[in-house]
Chain A
Amino acid sequence: MKFKPFSMAIAACLLLWSQFILADKASATPTIEQLWEIIQSQQAEIEALKKEQRETAQQAADADEKAEAAVVAVEEVDAKTAGVASWVDKTTIGGYGELHYNNFEGEDNEIDLHRFVLFFGHEFTDSIRFFSEFEIEHGVAGDDQNGEVEVEQAYVEFDLSESMRAKGGVFLMPVGILNETHEPGTFYGVERNDVESIIIPSTWWEGGAALNGYFANGISWDLAISSGLEMPTTGKNAFRVRSGRQKVSEATANDLSYTGRLKYTGIPGLELAGTVNYQSNATQSNNDGLNEGILYETHAIYNSGPFGLRALYARWNFNGSAVSAAGADDQYGWYIEPSYKPWEKVGLYTRYEKLDGARDQDQFDQWEVGANFWPHPDVVLKVDYRDRNVDSNSSGADDVKAFDLGIGYQF
Chain B
Amino acid sequence: MLKPLILASVINSSRQRMLTARDDLLAICRILAQPPGLAVLGLLLILPFNALAEGPYQTTEAFLEETFSGTPPSPDVVWLRGEVKETAAEILGHAYPGIRVRYWGVNNRTAWVLEEVGKTQPITVGLVVNDNGIESIRVLAFRESRGWEVRYAFFTDQFPGIKLTDQHKLDRHIDGISGATLSVRALKKLSRLALYLHQQTVQKNDSSQ
Q: Choose among B54, B57, B98, B178 the residue that contacts A75 (Cβ–Cβ < 8 A).
A: B98
Contact A161 B143 (CB under 8 A): no
Q: In whole angstroms, how far apart are the Cα atoms of A86 and B87 in the complex?
A: 29
One of B42-50, B63-71, B190-198, B200-208 at the interface: B42-50
Given contacts A71-B100, A292-B26, contact A271 B120 (CB under 8 A): no
Q: Is A123 an interface residue (CB 8 A)?
A: yes
Are B178 and A303 neighbours in the complex by a CB distance under 8 Å? Answer: yes
1/0 per residue B84-123: CB within 8 Å of A? 0000000000000111100000000000000001011100
User: Of all chain B residues, which has the CB nearest A177?
Assistant: B178
Q: Check if A268 sits within 8 Å of B158, measured CB to CB.
A: yes
Q: From the candidates A161, A167, A266, A269, name the one contacting B53 in the complex (CB within 8 A).
A: A161
Task: Say yes or no: is A24 at the interface (Cβ < 8 Å to chain B).
Answer: no
Say which residue of A119, A167, A217, A223 sits within 8 Å of B41 (CB atoms). A223
On whether the beta carbons of B148 and A214 are closer than 8 Å, the reply is yes
Given contacts A94-B119, A209-B45, contact A126 B175 (CB under 8 A): no
Asked if B175 contacts A304 (CB within 8 A), the reply is yes
A131, A164, A269: which contacts B145 (Cβ < 8 A)? A131
Q: Which residues of B contact A304 (CB under 8 A)?
A: 175
B54 touches A126 (CB 8 A): yes
Chain A residues within an 8 Å CB radius of B168: none
Knowing A157-B145, A294-B25 touch, does A268 contact B175 (C-beta < 8 A)?
Answer: yes
Q: In the complex, how many angstroms separate the beta carbon of A96 from the nearest chain B beta carbon?
A: 10
Asked whether B10 is an interface residue with its Cβ less than 8 Å from the other chain, the reply is no
B178 touches A92 (CB 8 A): no
A-chain residues with CB within 8 Å of residue B145 when the two chains form the complex: 129, 131, 157, 167
- State which of B1-9, B130-138, B149-157 sits at the interface with chain A: B149-157
B11 within 8 A of A: no
Q: How many residues of B contact A (CB 8 A)?
A: 50
Question: Do residues B120 and A278 form an inter-chain contact, with CB atoms below 8 A?
Answer: no
Contact residues in A for B154 (Cβ distance below 8 Å): 216-218, 266-268
Distance from B48 Cβ to chain A, minimum over Cβ atoms (Å):
4
Q: Kindly supply a per-residue 1/0 record for chain A positions 218-231, scoring 1 wherever the CB is within 8 Å of any chain B CB and 0 otherwise.
A: 10100101000000
A220 touches B148 (CB 8 A): yes
The tally of residues in A whose CB lies under 8 Å from a CB in B reads: 57
In Å, the complex CA distance between A158 and B49 comes to: 8
With the chains together, A159 CA to B52 CA distance in Å? 6
- Is A116 engaged at the interface, CB distance under 8 Å to the other chain? no
Chain B CB within 8 A of A256 CB: yes
Q: Are A166 and B29 in contact (CB under 8 A)?
A: no
Q: Mark A340-352, 1 if CB is under 8 A from B, else 0.
A: 0000000000000
Q: Does B62 interact with chain A (Cβ within 8 Å)?
A: no
User: Does B49 contact A126, Cβ atoms closer than 8 Å?
Assistant: no
User: CB distance B52 to A218 under 8 Å?
Assistant: no
Answer whether residue A186 sits at the interface, using C-beta atoms and an 8 A cutoff.
yes
Are B48 and A161 in contact (CB-based, < 8 A)? yes
Considering the chains assembled together, what is the distance between the CA atoms of A46 and B42 in angstroms?
A: 85
Of B49, B117, B185, the contact of A160 (CB 8 Å cutoff): B49
A211 near B146: Cβ-Cβ < 8 Å? no
A205–B155 Cα distance when bound, in Å, is 29
Within 8 Å of chain A (Cβ to Cβ): is B36? no
Known: A177-B178, A217-B154. A159 touches B119 (CB 8 A): no
Contacts A/B (CB < 8 Å), 19 sampled: A71-B99, A78-B97, A78-B98, A123-B121, A126-B143, A157-B145, A161-B53, A162-B53, A167-B145, A181-B146, A217-B154, A265-B149, A265-B178, A265-B179, A268-B177, A280-B30, A292-B26, A294-B26, A294-B29
- With A255-B33, A265-B149 given, can you name 12 additional A-B contacts, CB distance below 8 Å? A75-B98, A127-B52, A159-B53, A181-B179, A216-B154, A220-B148, A258-B32, A268-B175, A271-B177, A280-B29, A280-B33, A292-B30
3 cross-chain pairs, A with B, having the tightest CB-CB distances, nearest first:
A268-B175, A278-B29, A269-B175
